[in-house]
Amino acid sequence: MAAVPSTPLLKDELDIVIPTIRNLDFLEMWRPFFQPYHLIIVQDGDPSKIIRVPEGFDYELYNRNDINRILGPKASCISFKDSACRCFGYMVSKKKYIYTIDDDCFVAKDPSGKDINALEQHIKNLLSPSTPYFFNTLYDPYRDGADFVRGYPFSLREGAPTAVSHGLWLNIPDYDAPTQLVKPLERNSRYVDAVLTIPKGTLFPMCGMNLAFDRELIGPAMYFGLMGDGQPIGRYDDMWAGWCTKVITDHLGLGVKTGLPYIWHSKASNPFVNLKKEYNGIFWQEELIPFFQSVALPKEATTVQKCYLELAKQVAAKLGKVDCYFNKLADSMVTWIEAWDELNPPKGVVAAENDPAKSK
């Protein structure tokens, strides 16, 4: 039997982006898996607070002052007092892949008791194709031990490039506030041993707690919106990014996977605080979903940026009447793309004056 090839580390091609407002103690548990990689820490909240990074990690850290300095007026698109600020890390990264994880997420164990190397699984997911055009009933056909089932068209078996790998959580599940209030004791103890592609045309709730993506394929779509301080909504940052991302990946012929790996989510946030944050979102969502389900991107939108700018236009045109927040959001979506392009010029073009790589 052929030896199972080991998963490449990609240590020079992947950045780990971590938003934090408190501390990074959780990194100790991840050390065996994360130490080879470069970390981008996005410090939210009070910039004068010193966030201690455990010894031995290679990292760059940005607080609000850094974000303001680097982006200037465009910093308005980056949320404050919300983990949505993490997307700044995506923008300043120079790597092909991003893995982002919350600071209350720890290493989980699989059913055999072995520690799960979440990053390795995400890499496997990203490096193997997706299958968005036809559902495979044995889930990811590229996993060891699986394959395409009878009836799966041969012309689709090459798959599509994978842009996003969405992982899950054991212990505290990612529930909204109402569900948390009704089921405060529910814990996710079910280990579902599957990775699968979310079909083209299907929307899903993308959680940013344990998420990896190909920055070159989809990075500009991973804007986590305007949340937190001064905003009428919170806890919809990753959802917003996920709906935009899915519409764009569907349009560009890219795939989104969900399932393994699991991490262990240790902290249940305060459901009463969450309810206040989510309140508007719960109602607005009912308008947002039909919007995203029916959005059509023109053929000429052949890059992520073009798709995203077109989306921003439609957000303003169609969602502005739901709440003026969406006009602001549409503007910041445009600002985000401008900032992204400035910090990530096409290869061969010299980066702008305020390139963080030059100033650190």
Partner 1 sequence: MSLEIQDSEFDIVIAALQPNLTTFFEAWRPFFSRFHIIVVKDPDLAEELQIPTGFDVKVYTKSDMGVLGATSIDFSGHSCRYFGYLVSRKKYVISIDDNCLPAKDNGGLIVDAVSQHMSNLKTPATPFFFNTLYDPFRKGADFVRGYPFSLREGVECMLSCGLWLHNADYDPMTHVVKRNQRNTTYVDAVMTVPIGAIMPVSGINVAFNREVLGPVMFPALRLRKDGKHRWDTLEDIWNGLCAKVVCDRLGYGVKTGLPYVIRSDAEAGKALESLKEWEGVKVMDDVLPFFQSVKLSTTATTVEDCVKELASIVKEKLGPQNAIFAKAADAMEEWAKLWESHGAQSS
Residue 264, number of CB atoms within 10 A of its CB: 18
CB of 234 to partner 1, least distance (A): 11
Kindly state whether residue 279 participates in binding partner 1, applying the rule CB under 8 A.
Answer: no
Nearest to 297 by CA among 249, 340, 329, 225: 249
SS3 for 223?
Answer: coil
Quote the CA–CA distance of 92 and 359 in Å, as a whole number.
12
| Cβ 187 to partner 1 shortest distance, Å | 8
Q: According to the binding rule CB under 8 A, does residue 207 interact with partner 1? A: yes
User: Contacts by 323-332 with C-beta closer than 8 Å and gap 24+?
Assistant: 323/232, 323/280, 323/284, 325/226, 325/231, 325/232, 325/233, 325/280, 328/226, 329/225, 329/226, 329/240, 332/76, 332/77, 332/223, 332/225, 332/226
- The only residue of 8, 32, 184, 205 in contact with partner 1, by rule CB under 8 A: 205
Beta carbon of residue 202, minimum distance to partner 1 (angstroms, whole number)? 4
Pick the binder of partner 1 from 6, 48, 189, 294 (CB under 8 A): 189
Under rule CB under 8 A, residue 285 binds partner 1: yes
Q: Burial, 116: exposed, middle or buried (Cβ in 10 Å; 0-12, 13-18, 19+)?
A: buried
Please pick, from the candidates 72, 184, 201, 345, the single residue that binds partner 1 as defined by CB under 8 A.
Answer: 201
Give, as ranges, the residues between 143 and 162 that touch partner 1 (CB under 8 A): 143, 145-156
Closest to partner 1 by CB, 73 or 145: 145
Beta bridge partners of 100: 17, 211
Nearer to partner 1, 67 or 256 (CB): 256
- Residues numbered 212-271 forming contacts with partner 1, rule: CB under 8 A: 235-236, 238-239, 242, 258
Q: Number of C-alpha atoms within 13 angstroms, CB side, residue 179?
A: 10
Tell me which of 11, 183, 267, 276 binds partner 1, using CB under 8 A.
183
Contact positions vs partner 1 (CB under 8 A): 1, 111, 133-139, 143, 145-156, 166, 168, 173-176, 179, 183, 186-194, 198-207, 235-236, 238-239, 242, 258, 278, 282, 285-286, 289
